[in-house]
Amino acid sequence: MATFGLLEQLYTGGLEPGYRLPDPAVDPAKERRVDRLLAEYRELIKDYPPRELERLGEPPAALWKGLKELGLFGMLIAEEYGGLGLSLTQYLRVVEQLSQDDLALALIPLAHLSIGVKGILLFGSDEQKRRYLPKAASGEMIFAFALTEPRVGSDAQHIETRAELANDGSSYLLTGQKTYITNANYAGGMTVFAQLDPQRPGSMGAFIVETGWEGVKIGKDMPKMGLAISSTAAVQLKGVRVPVENLLGRPGDGFKIAMTILNYGRLGLGAGAHGGMRRSVSDMVARAGSRIQFGSPIAKFDLVQEKIARTWAMGFAVGAMTELTARILESDPLANVAIESSHCKLFGTERSWQAIYDALQLAGGSGYIATQPYEKRMRDARVATVFEGTSEIHSIYPPTFVARELGRELKDRGPFKRLGFIAGYWLASPRLPMAPAREPEIREALAATRRAIRGFRRLLLRGLIRYGSSIAKHEFLLRRITSLSLAAYSLVSAVVKIERERSSRGAASSAEAAERLRILRYLTVEARAAIAESLRFDDPPRERLTGTLFADAAAHEARSTGSPTLHPVLS
């Protein structure tokens, strides 16, 4: 049975008695293997510049061969199946480094391991693992993850692909269409999701489907603004006969399996975002030191320093959030880290996009020239805020998730017990899973964390009391609640990382320790501002004006185009 995530516990009631953050086990031999892998990877790609790969549109045969020989497609797969057997934390460290070099190339093994074959790793039977994992580890069979459909994106419970059990009970017949499938034309296998009962949306199956089977048709790669060497295509399924032995888990478990896999996919995006931010810091520091304006290096200008400082601090937070979430999953691979992984994806991809934007801006006119790396990085990174749940979805998801739990708590209690629960929930003082802090920077960060957690709980409770189940329609309120949660998790993660570095390194340099505390103080100041802005319950004036201005804009467009009616949404 999966354990509750850290944030789910903090927001629904409190930490379970005896809860401790996972203490990571470090395998020096595996760490050295990671270092060798990264060194060999960089040696391999020296002959394949990112822009040349983009021009080719796909990895050349020699590069494919090299990636497979390095074991890149088997990083998370156990050694008994031919993989490297890296931990999740080690794997994410590799993803972070690969993303700094070329995000487009990194996405191929990332999609294969984080989501494509992850269902087999987590839910596969022994026979399924023996049949598919050796091929996946060697790169003989690249995997894709097929959930999204032409009419269904984030609302995954209502996918339209159907799976019907054959009359003889030996197989399922899959019919439907998937779209925007990463690795589609590289894949030999896919994890495909389909409805089992049209009357019960969400009662789904997760199936291992081989792309060479009859009835599977993969379309041409879609032209994209970036990530050119990453294959993205539609997949048609016409009566594809899938043996019952290829069902992952039990019938009806498909939605749960999909959501669990996506936790890992979003974590991979967090690691990739961290890599993009580290690359941006390197680019900006180099540019700021070499560019002379008004007789001085631009590194002396406040507005230039601001960009670098912000990216440096936020990059630390993204890395810390991703690492803490990975540690939780290492202790329990099925832990419910839906909120944590959502935060890694939202916080990481939005701030990475800002960092890549700032790096181009700081480069000035030369940053806009296509021979420089910035424009390709912007094109490649742009989709990160869209896939595996848009930023808008992740901006409202955490409180919506917790609201379901609290709604059940309130519904299942009588009037007096309900009042008692509300009072206890409102007044509870959040207990955090760390020892009392010595440094004032850490004490201040944890005080801000507690304020953010109390704000999350109280705003959500007020929303449930006032709006009930219709709270999901009040997205501005939900977004403010999510901002409180982001502030809390970024600070908790940063503190955990700082404490862990101190305990693991022992006599770390005082300069490095002081640097970390300055980063924490910066993050605390940022978090306090976000908390102060988000604590109000009623929508501020700008949000209250949004609906009226939207109606005005739509009406103006209707008049301008001669349309006889307003947009159907407004009718």
Token representation of residue 528: 């306090």
Handedness of CA 149, 153, 156, 159 (dihedral sign): negative
| Residue 180 vs residues 150, 195, 234: alpha-carbon distances, Å | 8, 19, 6
Give the contacts of 345 (CB within 8 A, at least 6 positions apart).
Answer: 266, 267, 269, 270, 388, 389, 394
177: nearest Cα among 118, 217, 214, 222: 217
142: nearest Cα among 190, 208, 177, 103: 190
- The position carrying tokens 């990059």 is 315
How far is residue 453's CA from residue 354's CA, in Å, rounded to a whole number?
26
396: nearest Cα among 482, 454, 461: 482
The helix-helix angle for 103-111 and 88-101 (nearest 10°) equals 150
How far is residue 506's CA from residue 273's CA, in Å, rounded to a whole number?
29
Query: Is 409 considered catalytic here?
Result: no
| Residue 558 vs residues 327, 548, 566: alpha-carbon distances, Å | 53, 15, 6
How far is residue 480's CA from residue 135's CA, in Å, rounded to a whole number?
46
Instruction: Please identify which of the residues 388, 441, 444, 526 carries the catalytic annotation.
Output: 388
Strands 162-165 and 204-210: unpaired
How far is residue 290's CA from residue 364's CA, in Å, rounded to a whole number?
13
Burial of 342 (0-12, 13-18, 19+ CB in 10 A): buried
- Residue pair 34/84 in contact (Cβ under 8 Å)? The answer is no
**Residue 54: Cβ within 10 Å count:** 18
Token representation of residue 526: 């940022």
How far is residue 260's CA from residue 286's CA, in Å, rounded to a whole number?
40
Which 3 state secondary structure label does DSSP give 312?
Answer: helix
The helix-helix angle for 302-331 and 338-363 (nearest 10°) equals 150
Name the DSSP class of 333.
T
How far is residue 287's CA from residue 359's CA, in Å, rounded to a whole number?
9
Q: Write the Ramachandran bin of 5: left for phi over 0, alpha for psi from -120 to 50, otherwise beta.
A: beta
Residues with catalytic roles: 388
